[in-house]
Chains A and B, each alone.
Chain A
Amino acid sequence: MGNSQAGISKVRIATCSLAGCFGCHTSLLDIDERLFDLLGMVEFDRSPFTDIKHCGPCDIGIVEGGVSNAENARVLREFRDNCKVLVAIGPCAITGNVPALRNNIDLWDCFQEVYLYDPGTEGNQIPNDPELPLPFDKVYPIYEVVKVDYFLNGCPPSPDAIWKFLTDLIEGREPAIDYKLLRYD
């Protein structure tokens, strides 16, 4: 927990995008001027906004995207190990969503289609650099890999839903998303 100048402890938040499109992060930025209020209450740890590479001890971890490869799984475990409360944001983290459309296609067939058979890929090969993370057979929702405390739906969740959810959580209330803000799409 960090301390602001006024000596009030701020809530420490880490965020990441696994097999997602960063749309949920974009929607978080879409809370517009409320970002100033948010930054008065929280400090960001690892996040695309800070470019910190590893997650340290945090109060809240927010994970966008499903688990598509070994690197996703490693990052997700790091978040779970370090965050008191873990939140799945958006349907990719909650159901696998569009990336999970590949779950019924054999991984090798998928690679061949994308890198070898598609028009314009003549002479290419399937990437196999050892630095590339190992892809999994399927894309998994994060709750099938680690324990998840809260889910925030919407593709992406609306800025209002994100604001309501975060302020509830930061101020110690049970997050309550009413019918108008609950959307799976």
Chain B
Amino acid sequence: MSKAITIDGKTVPFSEDQTIMDAALAAGIYIPHLCHNPEFQPHGSCKLCVVNASGRNVTSCTMPASDGMVVANNTPELNEDRKALVQMLFVEGNHICPACEASGNCQLQAAGYYLHMQSPHFTHFYPPRRVDASHPDIFLDLNRCILCELCVRASRDIDKKNVFGISGRGINSHLVVNSESGRLGDTNMTVTDKAAHICPTGAILIKRKGYTMPIGKRTFDQKTLAEFHLDQMKRTGPDGE
């Protein structure tokens, strides 16, 4: 007898060790997310994927599915919460879409579109953040980092280089680079590393590649974040480029 949960009334089968997110993506059901990527261990930090599972709000990317679980996902209340989270991410960093190379290919931006965000709503922090251009092929712009730790996971688990880490606590959390100088140019990171291509925003950019795709042809000119993430499941290729 196969086990199943329901998501917004739809029966979704799952296998042992699958989370709610795994089961949903496999069934073609979209749960908004930013820090989750099916290729990596779940992280559960962005909280966009919070669903209501049998009465409790849980992050669907870390919560194991269990037989008979009743999940509410695409509800106005949860989507309003998700929008507020995206708005907080926008005001916590310096996300200036018209001046960003990642615009049109940025998952944070696309999450804003998906959730009908019309304004960042909250008071902007305009935090002072560092830009690191020391690497010959890779830009690191911490103004756009949302602390999803995808680069940390990619560098540690795939590239086996441990180039990135998170330091500090609470609002002072920030991405750090594992070299004596703290500069990316003094690490052994290369442009072919997984970590160089995993950033959902424009915090890690490949040099000399900016604005190659004309407006109208960029990823999220053509599809929604939901379509992009569901396609990502089907792809065997490495990243979302």
A residues engaging B (CB < 8 A)?
88, 91, 94-98, 100-101, 103-104, 138, 140-141, 143-144, 148, 150-151, 153, 155, 177, 179, 182-185
Contact = CB atoms under 8 A, between A and B. Distances in A.
Give the interface SS of chain B, mostly helix, strand, loop or mixed. loop
B103 interface: yes
A104 B126 contact: yes
Interface of B: 90, 94-100, 103-104, 109, 112-113, 116, 118-121, 123-124, 126-129, 215, 224
B163 to A, nearest CB: 25
Contact of B118 (A98, A138, A153): A153
Contact of B113 (A88, A94, A100, A182): A182
Nearest to B103: A185
Given A141-B119, A143-B121, 8 more contacts: A91-B96, A94-B119, A97-B96, A100-B94, A104-B94, A141-B120, A141-B124, A185-B97
Given A144-B124, A182-B113, A184-B112, A98 B96 contact: yes
Contacts of A103: 94, 126
B115 to A, nearest CB: 10
Contacts, number: 70
B96 A101 contact: yes
A153 B103 CA distance: 14
A21 to B, nearest CB: 10
Contacts of A151: 118-119
Contacts of A177: 118
